[in-house]
Chain A
Amino acid sequence: MSQGSYPNAQSIQQHQFENGIKLLMYRNPASDLVVVRGSMAAGGIGEPREKAGLADFAMQMLMRGTQARPFEQIYDDLESVGASLGFSGGYRRSGFGAEALIEDLDLVLDLAAESILRPTFPADHIEKVRAENMTGLQMRANDTRSMANLRFREMLYPDHPYGQSADGYPDSISQITQDDLIAYHRTALAPDGMVIVVVGNIDFAAVQAQVAAHFGAWRNPDYVAPIAYPDAARPAETVRVHVDMPEKTQSDIVLGLPGPRRNDPHFMDVRLANTILGVFGMMGRLGQNVRVKQGLAYYANSRLSSSMGPYPWQVNTGVSPDKVEQAINSILDEIKRIQNVPVPASELADSQAYMTGSLPLSLETNGGLASVIMSMETLQLGFDYLDKYADNVNAVTPAQVQKAAQTYFSAEEIVIAVAGPPPA
């Protein structure tokens, strides 16, 4: 994928259906695999605590039986041709991902539509999925990285939907009923605001006709759109929490703050600051300090996600229990340094070159192409996003990086969660 041939307004074929579905298609003749992604404006945002995990549970149930096919036949049809289809739920967007050889595209679109439009939520499968989820929650409770993340989110967002686990909790998952699942499906899933992306060696007219046949007649008069993401306040001081997991050999540390929304005008500045801090090369400055210089940890990195909401900016590391304080102090020192000392122009240039140069690699597969096309639509980046990407990255200055670090990072007003053996 050379520059000039990125997916853009010219090469992405768009079709707006009457029922609200937007179809985006992109032709890549280099692969026989077709990738389909669907995203609906639906999710667990605003779920009451006692129903936490309901939206995700409902998505897992969609392929457990439909009016046209029982569970066994759904998977028999799918797996006999080597295709894959899976659903997942998020806070404000939920949907599916599918892969198939081009000859089986119609089958996966049929199965996806049937699962979304006409699921039956059979009682026996509710109990099976519940048991799988309860096992997953048991594993989470025994995993230091998961528990540090869970407690971090709870402390960081005490009054925000992000503070509640989208996977739920044992006490909520055990209480969810068939009526809950059916009611969620009736009100939450709709064509309104849905986006479908198809990438492969495809014929646009044929794919559009297939999508029309399977999704075109869908209407949901009972649809209730999810609430918007509220703002999230940062803590007024350092908030520290420890999850005791006495039999573990290593402690996991998560620290961070609510991050900028993707449409924040300074988002790219923050992304550069984050790349310098904990991504570039071997995990940026954090990797150099915590891993290379001090040998404290196998990994020490920072991450910033793209979301329409104030999704967390966070630092992750895993260290020996007796090195927890040393690691936290080193991370806070690096945060202060990027806030207080302007980043050398050459160091910024390195991260800019990395971000622009690695773009073609992320667009090498149909899955990668589908992801970025979906993001351009659902995150409202615009179809000129890739064409303008290098200019936008390269426009960021050392002063903007410093300002972004001062505004969006903090070493004093921050949430720190540690999961591992109790402190000595």
Chain B
Amino acid sequence: MIDMGEETMTAENGVLKTQLENGLTIVLKEMHHAPVTSFWVWYNVGSRFERPGHTGIAHWVEHMMFKGTPQFPSGVLDRIVSREGGQWNAFTWIDYTAYYETLPSDRIGLSLQIESDRMVNTIISPEETDSERTVIISERHMSENRPTFHLFEEVQAAAFRVHPYHHMVIGDETDLKTMTRDDLYGFYRTWYAPNNATVIVVGDFESDAMLAQITEHFGNIKTRPLPDLNIRPEPDQRGERQVNVKGPGDTSYLTLSYKSPPASSDDYFALALLNAAFTGGSALGQGGSSNKSSRLYKSLVSTQKAVTAAAWIRPTADPFLYTFIAIPPPGSDLTALEEALDAEIARLATEPITQNELDRARKRARVEFTRASESITGQARMIGMAEVLTGDYQWFETALAKLDAITLEDIERVRATYLNKDKRTVGRYIPNVE
């Protein structure tokens, strides 16, 4: 606990959370096992904030954040961090945009300089905008070379008629061709504000000194009025939707996408745990390991109706998708696979998840949690995502306790609520016949 006058502050589990007067939220976690510090700025802006005509703008602005300020001109930023032995990157998702540097602890001041500077001083020149336009279109084309990109794009568009989860983070090509420098700059000035950002620092530092440094670099940045976003909620779905996508290749893909609760919902972890118990997927939104002892694998892959079958649910700000994917064996079409997957999901109602299946899923979550917490960059990512999505940095740190509290009745309740055929979107990728 540090005396900061009027500031409110909590220190739990060695984590300190506070807010500067300009609205910048700060979460600090000391870890002293290695002389490394990871510094992140999370902006509460993602493709969820975009309007038709400007799809892809959040991601494009993220690219432009590397194109320089008067203090750190274009091409300088990545070099100076790399020169200090740092790891750096940025990513844009449907709900957030994050920037980070992981550096030897004695160099982390560089990160504060860079991030406080580009929160306000990014130039976004017309020339750099045009040069980056073709890079972004190339990034989209790279994705288009994969069948699953086309499939997921169409599934999202069908599943969300009204809500901006309708479009992909990369954006529609027509918008990428027509957006202007002023569009990008306007978006940047609107959303890149201290009162719309969260700083997460994890690693080898002293919290009071770090807080003083952050205050020095970020404290003078002015609060900005944030527009009322008025994100249009998705109306209740009335009946199954289906999309077929055709394209090159020899491999068919089947997806079933049910609506999932947001991360802040009490149902989120129950559905995530159901998924882990049923399919062997991750209860924590992490990369999965093998799932060969799961019901899903036994019913589809062991019986040779599929060569692979998996499912995932990820924490999101608004209701998103709980998606199953399966690939039939060579030479088979999707009909038998679709029937088998449907039957297996339906069987959950008559033969519910057992206590044994639940306990195994919890044990796997424990290992996943340990793995996700191993690196300080990984810790910072988890804490940041939790804070931005739910306003509670402990959302991830207490995940195991939340999973432990879930009962078989909870599992059955979320199964009945969310695995509802009338509220799903079926996606099929069908290879072109030559």
Interface residues on A, range: 35 or more
Query: When each residue 67-95 of chain A gets 1 if its CB lies under 8 Å from chain B and 0 otherwise, what string results?
Result: 00001100110111111101000000000
Q: Is the CB of B138 within 8 A of A358?
A: no
Partner of B146, one of A132, A143, A282, A298: A143
Query: Which chain B residues in 256-304 approach chain A with CB under 8 Å?
Result: 280, 289-294, 298, 301-302, 304
> Is B342's beta carbon under 8 Å from chain A?
no
Known: A99-B371, A250-B145, A295-B135. A354 touches B363 (CB 8 A): no
Q: Is the CB of B86 within 8 A of A358?
A: yes
CB-defined contacts of A128 to chain B, threshold 8 Å: 301-302, 304
Partner of B135, one of A31, A131, A297: A297
Partner of A295, one of B132, B248, B330: B132
Partner of A135, one of B280, B329, B375: B329
Q: How far is the CA of A72 from the CA of B294 in the complex (A)?
A: 10
Q: How far is the CA of A381 from the CA of B110 in the complex (A)?
A: 34
Q: Is the CB of B85 within 8 A of A138?
A: no
Known: A280-B82, A364-B374. A75 touches B138 (CB 8 A): no
Known: A79-B280, A131-B307, A134-B330. A298 touches B138 (CB 8 A): yes
> What residue of chain B has the Cβ atom nearest to residue A247's Cβ?
B248
> Is A144's beta carbon under 8 Å from chain B?
yes
Q: How far is the CA of A250 from the CA of B131 in the complex (A)?
A: 18
Q: Is the CB of A354 within 8 A of B307?
A: no
Partner of B375, one of A293, A297, A364: A364
Q: How far is the CA of A81 from the CA of B75 in the complex (A)?
A: 47
Q: Is the CB of B82 within 8 A of A101?
A: no
Q: Is the CB of B131 within 8 A of A75?
A: no
> Is A360's beta carbon under 8 Å from chain B?
yes
> Is A245's beta carbon under 8 Å from chain B?
yes
Known: A82-B366, A142-B250, A295-B133. A354 touches B145 (CB 8 A): no
Q: How far is the CA of A1 from the CA of B330 in the complex (A)?
A: 48
Q: Is the CB of A360 within 8 A of B104?
A: yes
CB-defined contacts of B86 to chain A, threshold 8 Å: 357-358
CB-defined contacts of B232 to chain A, threshold 8 Å: none
Partner of A350, one of B83, B289, B371: B83
Q: Is the CB of A131 within 8 A of B304?
A: yes
> Is A365's beta carbon under 8 Å from chain B?
yes
CB-defined contacts of B138 to chain A, threshold 8 Å: 250, 295-298, 318-320
> What residue of chain A has the Cβ atom nearest to residue B81's Cβ?
A281
CB-defined contacts of A318 to chain B, threshold 8 Å: 138, 141-142, 145
Q: Is the CB of A292 within 8 A of B145?
A: no
Q: Is the CB of A101 within 8 A of B135?
A: no
Partner of A84, one of B104, B290, B432: B290
Q: Is the CB of A72 within 8 A of B366?
A: no
Question: Taking each of B102, B247, B290, B302, which has the highest tally of chain A beta carbons within 10 Å of its own beta carbon?
Answer: B290
> What residue of chain A has the Cβ atom nearest to residue B375's Cβ?
A364
Known: A356-B85, A365-B375. A32 touches B364 (CB 8 A): no
Q: Is the CB of A141 within 8 A of B250?
A: yes
CB-defined contacts of B132 to chain A, threshold 8 Å: 295
> Is B205's beta carbon under 8 Å from chain A?
no
Question: Taking each of A86, A281, A353, which has the highest tally of chain B beta carbons within 10 Å of its own beta carbon?
Answer: A281
Q: Is the CB of B371 within 8 A of A33?
A: yes
Q: Is the CB of A1 within 8 A of B293?
A: no
> Is A361's beta carbon under 8 Å from chain B?
yes
Q: How far does the Cβ of A312 sit from chain B's closest Cβ, in whole Å?
A: 22
Known: A135-B330, A281-B79. A360 touches B36 (CB 8 A): yes
Q: Is the CB of B82 within 8 A of A138?
A: no
> Is A366's beta carbon under 8 Å from chain B?
yes
> Is B376's beta carbon under 8 Å from chain A?
yes
Q: How far does the Cβ of B308 sit from chain A's closest Cβ, in whole Å?
A: 7
Query: When each residue 275-289 of chain A gets 1 if its CB lies under 8 Å from chain B and 0 otherwise, what string results?
Result: 000001110000010
> What residue of chain B has the Cβ atom nearest to residue A135's Cβ?
B307
CB-defined contacts of A245 to chain B, threshold 8 Å: 248
Q: How far is the CA of A135 from the CA of B330 in the complex (A)?
A: 6
Q: Is the CB of A79 within 8 A of B360?
A: yes
> Is B113's beta carbon under 8 Å from chain A?
no
CB-defined contacts of B290 to chain A, threshold 8 Å: 75, 78-79, 84, 86
Q: How far does the Cβ of A202 sit from chain B's closest Cβ, in whole Å?
A: 15
CB-defined contacts of B350 to chain A, threshold 8 Å: none
Query: When each residue 287-325 of chain A gets 1 if its CB lies under 8 Å from chain B and 0 otherwise, what string results?
Result: 010011111111100000000000000000011100000
Question: Taking each of A33, A282, A291, A361, which has the highest tally of chain B beta carbons within 10 Å of its own beta carbon?
Answer: A361
Question: Taking each of B66, B131, B137, B138, which has the highest tally of chain A beta carbons within 10 Å of its own beta carbon?
Answer: B138
Q: How far is the CA of A142 from the CA of B150 in the complex (A)?
A: 14
Q: How far is the CA of A366 from the CA of B370 in the complex (A)?
A: 11
CB-defined contacts of B139 to chain A, threshold 8 Å: 298
Q: How far does the Cβ of A99 sit from chain B's closest Cβ, in whole Å?
A: 7
Known: A79-B292, A79-B360, A356-B85. A298 touches B370 (CB 8 A): no
Q: How far is the CA of A295 from the CA of B127 in the complex (A)?
A: 11
Q: How far does the Cβ of B77 sit from chain A's closest Cβ, in whole Å?
A: 9
Query: When each residue 225-250 of chain A gets 1 if its CB lies under 8 Å from chain B and 0 otherwise, what string results?
Result: 00000000000000000000111111
| Residues in chain A within 8 A of chain B (CB atoms) | 1-2, 30-33, 71-72, 75-76, 78-84, 86, 99-101, 127-128, 131-132, 134-135, 138-139, 141-145, 245-250, 252, 280-282, 288, 291-299, 318-320, 350, 353-354, 356-361, 364-366
| Residues in chain B within 8 A of chain A (CB atoms) | 33-36, 66, 74-75, 78-79, 82-87, 102, 104, 130-139, 141-142, 144-147, 247-251, 280, 289-294, 298, 301-302, 304, 307-308, 327, 329-330, 360, 363-368, 370-371, 374-377, 432
Q: 16 A-B Cβ contacts within 8 A?
A: A72-B302, A78-B290, A78-B293, A79-B280, A79-B292, A128-B304, A135-B307, A245-B248, A248-B248, A281-B78, A282-B66, A292-B74, A295-B131, A295-B132, A360-B36, A366-B374
Question: What are the 4 A-B residue pairs with the smallest beta carbon separation, nearest first?
Answer: A357-B85, A82-B367, A82-B364, A142-B249
Q: A78-B293, A131-B329, A248-B144 are in contact. List 5 more A-B contacts (CB 8 A).
A: A78-B290, A128-B304, A138-B249, A142-B248, A319-B138
